[in-house]
Structures are given as C-alpha cells and as structure tokens.
Chains A and B, each alone.
Chain A
Amino acid sequence: MHLAVSLNIASAAGQVSLTFAELAAFVRNVEAAGVDMVIISDSSDAPSTSPFEATTLLAALATVTSRIGLVASASTLAHQPYNLARRFASLDIISHGRIGWSATMTQNPREAANFSRPEGFSDDDFRRRAREFINIVRALWIGWGRDALLFDKAAGRFHDPDKMHPLNHIGEFFSVRGPLNVARSPQDRPVLIMSGPSEADFDLASGAADVVLIEGRPSEALKVAVGDLKRRAAAIGRKPEIVKVLATMVLTSEPGTDSLQALLESSGCDGFNFVLPADAPGLQSFTDRVLPELRRRGIAGQGQQGTTLRAHLGLGAGGEQ
C-alpha cells in the first residue's frame, strides 16, 4: 500500500502562490505522516504563477527533508535527454536516493510554442520520440558501473576506465554518445513515473516505468488498466509486483476512506496518488483533516520502508531490471 501526493504548482493561477517555506513545511508534514513521495509539476495549459520550476524546487526541498521521495515532472519537449538525465541523477545524489522523474506523456502546446517547436509533433512522432528519449535517459543513468569510482590517491587512479560505458546511441530523433558526467546515483536509476498513459503508451509504461499513475475512477476501468499493465510487464519478463500502479484521486473533500479501501481491494492497485490543490488552504486541509483519517484507517503510515524511494516503494535496485 503506497501513497503519493501530487501538487501542480502551476495550477494556482490567480491565487497567492505557495512560498518555499510553505512548500517545505507541507512536505515535512506528509513526510512525518509516512507518505512515500510528493510529485511536483510546474506546467499547465495556462500560464503559471508559481515562482518555482519543479527540478530546482526539488533540489532545495531535498536539503530540508530526509526520508520522503521527491518527484518532479519534466517533459521530453522542454529538455534534451542528456541534460535531463544529468539533472535527475544529480538530484538523486543530493537527496541520497529519493528522486523520481515523472515523464510527461502528453504534448503541451504551450511548451511546443515556447521551445522552438511551433508546429509541435504529430501524436505518433511525439510518442516515438518520447520512447526514444526515455530509453536514452534510463541507459545514461547506468553508464557508470556501481564500483567505478576508486578514489585511489596513491595509485593516481580516480576511476576504473573499464567501468565507464559510453552509450553511443544513434536513433531517429537523438544522437547521444554519453556517458553522463555525473556518478552512478544511489538508486542506480531515479524512479521513473508515468502519469496517465494512454493505452498506446502501455507497452512503454509496463516495460520501463517503476510507477504508473492511472485515474482511480471509474473503478472498473482502473481494474482493467492495472491488470493490463501487470500482464504486459510479466509478458516481457518483469516481475509484475515491481510495476506499481497507483490510483490517482482528486481530493475535493473528505476522502471517504471506506471507498478507498474498497477500491484498493477490487482494483488490485498498489495505492493512491492524491492530487491536491497547490494553495495554502488546500494543503492545510490535507494535513489537518485528511491525513489523520488516512492514518487511522491504516491507508497512510505504512510507507518509507527504507532510506531510498525505491526501498519505500518496494522496488528492486534500478540497475538490475
């Protein structure tokens, strides 16, 4: 049973934006309540009023928390795979292994218009490009062997040259020689999360993602999607239990813990992802009223089983999948 909280800091248009102190206090509160991870996105169809970009915010949050997983959304349109892989590997080292990347699987027209792609990509091209992008990032993350760094002052050998592996990727959309100039990170690979994949993305999600977020309602559709993703994972030799499917729930008022328990049992999902409004009253309400109820029912408070986000989620090492 896993629990994530999602905040879209860009969606607060017209409202007073959250300050860093407010965000940090909230993340510490949900950390104390045993939530596995906070997922932060900073992009929406409308212009954002948030003062922060998600990955920079994550780095700052990493220094004021100690156990909770920290995830940022980042799109394949707004980044280059080499830069994105570096940023998240570096964040993983800064946080001592608590980082995840939520890969945006839909094309945001605002991003296309502002990132020198005024025509955007066709859906098909966008999907193929995203797949190639994600696979490059995953490969770059394990370009350095776990024991590559020797730090041998006397012999003058900083790292083992045989344990640094270039990627030499030449694909349809990208050419990337690699390797990263960031060391292997504590989780081997930061946790890869895919949010709301369409059915066309299910193969990629079941083959590459560690966590898939699927709309929790209607419950029948959730059950079908959970079964489908786990079957596809098993079909390519992955253990179905290391592809975690969380039901995304938009919390408008009281959570209705009875129905959450029922949904967990009927759908076979691995837990919940609560989408919260990114404003101070919304966060206050969640920590003061919702979290205690979730804890009382045993829905929250079971997380954070280890020191890394992978350990919290019961995932294997990132380099061995």
Chain B
Amino acid sequence: MSTRKMKLGLFLWATGHHIAAWRHPDAHVTAGIDIDHYISLARTAEAAKFDMVFCEDAAGLREANVNIASQTSRSIGFEPISLLSALAAQTERIGLVSTASTSYNEPYGLARTFASLDNLSGGRAGWNLVTSASPIEAANFGATGLRPHADRYARAREFATVVTGLWNRRAAGHDGESFSVRDPLDIPPSPQGAPVMVQAGASDDGKDLAARTADVVFSAAQTFEDAKAFYDDLKGRLAAYGRQPDDVKIMPGVAPIVAATKAEAQAKYDALQELIPDDVGVALLSSYLSISDLGRYPIDGPLPELPESEGMKSRQALVIEQARRDGLSIRELARYFAGARGHWRVVGTAEQIADALQERFEGGAADGFNVMPSWFPGELDAFATLVVPELQWRGLFRKDYEGRTLREHLGLKRSI
C-alpha cells in the first residue's frame, strides 16, 4: 500500500461543469444566488476529506453573445472571495482556493484579502493566479483592450513577487514597472504564513511562472501521455529555481460521470450531451479557440486553419490537437469540449474511475486531481459516496485530515 496520498480538489462551478448542467432535472438551478447550496457542497467535500474547494473566476461575462449567454448559467454567480469567506465560517478543515487576476487587482490589496481569508479560515486559503485572457474582462477595466500575452505575464511576475514578499515579510518597499508598494503588509502573519499559491497557465510563460512561484498547478490533459508530458515538463523546470519536485503538486482536472454500472454512467452522460444546443456548443468551442466566428463554418465539417491566439495559447493547442487526432467535426468537437471544457472525461463505475485515477497518479502523471462534477449536487454526491471510498480502500486517499491548514493537507512546506 502506497504511503503517498492523492490530493483532491473540488472545482466549484455554477450549476455544474457540463455546459448544459443547469438543464439537468436534478441540477440546482438557482446555485448562483444560493449561499446555502455552496455551504452544503463545501461540507460534502469536507466530509469526503477533499483537500480543497476551488472557485474559478472571471471579472466579466464568459460569453459576449447575449443570446448564447442566456442559454447557459454562467453569466451570474457569487464573487469568489466573498463566497469563500462565507464558507470559511461554515467549514472547519477544507482548503478554500480562489482565482484572482493579476491584471485587474493591486498586489497590496490582494495580499491583504487572502491573508484575511487565511486568518478567517485558520490557515486554509489559497490563491489561483491568473493573468485574465478575456477581452470581455478587459473592457470592464479600461478602454485599451486586452494586454498582449507577454505583457500580462511580465505584470504577473512582478505581481507575484510583490505578493509573496508581503506575505513572507521580506523587506518592504517596491517600486517596479507596474506597481509601487511602500509599507509592509498591515495584517499580522496568517496561520500558513503565505496562503497556498496555485496556477493553471500551461504556456511556456505560464509554466515558468508556476515553476518559480506555485505550490499547486491545475492542468488540462486528455490522455495519459499528455498528462505525463506536462507533469515531467513542469517538475523539470523546478530545479532552475532551487526547488524540489515535491514542492509543487500537479492536479489535472477530471470530469467524472459515475454510476453503479458502466451502462448507467454512459446513459447519464448521453442524456447530458443531448441537452447542449448546437449554437451554445459551437460558441463555447469558439471561445476556447479564441476566435469569434466558428459558426460560419459547416458544423459537420472539420476545424478550419486558425492563427495562434493572444488569449489562451495552451488551451487552443489542446483543442486543435484533439480535433486532428480523432478526426472530429466541429459539432462533435463542440459537444466533446462542452462536456468537460477540454478536461479529461471519465465515464464508468467507481472501480473504473478509481483505476483511471490510479494509473495517472502512480504512473507519474499527477499528484492528485481537480474534480469537476458535471452537475451539482448530484454528481458530487456520487463521487463522494462511490469513488472516494474506493480510493480510500485502495490506500490512495486519506481517510481523515491529519493537519489543520491547507499546506498541511497538501504536504507543503509552511511557506514558499
């Protein structure tokens, strides 16, 4: 029996990760305005001994086309810092991780806010650093549009340096390209010292920044080979920054659909796929490809040739590779990606899902997984009651918390 334990995050996302989740008969459709729903999800994850809950975020709408947007549940939801602060008071042990942008915040304010969340939660806070690739967000913060990829990452590097300096009480005073900060942080040291640093960028710039500053890396990988290549690449970059392979936990996303039999699980998945309107699927695919007009190509034809995007470079490459490899039409690709948003989809019994997770975990392709239930609360409940006990029985996942802080759950040093 292995002593190394899998890390599990619960990726919270509106009514569920499937684009049509909100239409599922059992999905809690008012999730985006119901705090009790989120408290209940966090407690379910805590009872199942998850390391953390994670809130993805964007400071703007997800979809520019109002007709498409109105057919999804993603235009409204809680602002994540307030949501997690509320959850801090209603949970005891589980980690609380939120996305926040380096493009639309100031480092002093962000460092204060997450230090406060760390204090409120007794050391359970984490920050997922994003540079924000969406022009929709950019339009809420000025008239000059989205900054180029390289500029966003230059700003992010400076931002991360200032924030970690403030958390770790390094010498105060920063006067840089994008930011100036005069004083030390005016919040006493929090239980973790520094909240956990998370990143998900998979471009070269993103991986280097993660290797330098992240404790946890979220990723998207369809195949074992892709997951393994990403894992080895990122861990290989750590030495250059004087870090050990175990200093960073790599947690790819997984979108499971679990049921008592494989056939039942497949039927659940098929029913969900049927709920996706074609125009919504194609629009979502367009946004991952960072182009605006995929709808003008024949839906049953192949993907057209595309220029490299200024937005999410790594995600675009992933989608294109998938399409070419499997010879998928736009419709097929749209449905496939709408289902799990480019993440790894596993449909089957608890044993089959545990097998798949175990293979990647023991094969050196993952330190754990960011679990993306297709709809809430049903698919979280199914994972917590079927898959988690199976992982525990195999000795792959903890039966109880051993530590108090998120750093302790993850087996990380106190501070970076």
A residues in contact (CB < 8 Å) with B: 10, 17, 20, 24, 47-53, 55-64, 78-80, 82-83, 86-87, 89-91, 93-94, 110, 113-118, 144, 149, 151, 153, 156-161, 164, 170, 174-179, 181-183
Q: How far is the CA of A56 from the CA of B83 in the complex (A)?
A: 9
CB distance from B70 to the nearest CB of A (A): 4
B interface residues, tally (CB under 8 Å):
67
* Chain B residues within 8 Å of A, Cβ to Cβ: 22-25, 29-30, 32-33, 35, 39, 58-62, 66-67, 69-73, 75-79, 81-83, 85-86, 88-90, 104-106, 108-109, 112-113, 115-117, 119-120, 136, 139-143, 175, 178-184, 186-188, 190, 275, 277
Residues of B within 8 A of A94 (CB): 35, 78, 82-83, 86
Q: Can you list 13 A-B pairs with a CB-CB distance of less than 8 A?
A: A51-B116, A56-B113, A57-B116, A59-B81, A59-B82, A59-B89, A63-B89, A87-B82, A90-B78, A116-B180, A144-B76, A158-B29, A175-B142
A53 contacts B180, CB within 8 Å? no
Measured CB to CB, the closest approach of chain B to A273, in angstroms, equals 24
* Total A-B pairs, Cβ < 8 A: 190
CB pair A149–B76 under 8 Å, yes or no, is: yes
Cβ 8 A contact of B73, one of A80, A118, A144, A158: A158
- Would you call the interface of chain A mostly helix, strand, loop, or mixed? mixed
Shortest distance between the CB of A230 and any CB in chain B (Å): 33
Q: Find chain B residues with CB under 8 A from A83 CB.
A: 59, 104-105
Contact A57 B85, beta carbon cutoff 8 Å: yes
Q: Whole-angstrom distance between the alpha carbons of A57 and B106 in the complex? A: 20
Complex CA–CA separation, A79 to B39 (angstroms): 27
Q: In the assembly, what is the distance between CA of A58 and CA of B79, in Å? A: 14
Instruction: From B71, B81, B120, B182, give the contact of A118 (CB < 8 A).
Output: B182
Contacts of A159 in B (CB 8 A): 69-70, 75-76
**Given contacts A49-B188, A63-B35, A158-B70, is CB(A182)–CB(B116) below 8 Å?**
no
A53/B113 contact (C-beta < 8 A), A164-B66, A181-B61, A181-B76 known:
yes
User: Within 8 Å CB of B136, what residues of A?
Assistant: 177
Give the residues in chain A near B29, CB-CB below 8 Å: 151, 153, 158
Distance in angstroms between the alpha carbons of A282 and B115 in the assembled complex: 26
Inter-chain CA distance A170–B140, complex, in Å, is 10
Selected from B23, B141, B181, the residue in CB contact (under 8 A) with A116 is B181
Contact B109 A78 (CB under 8 A): yes
Q: Is the CB of B60 within 8 A of A181?
A: yes
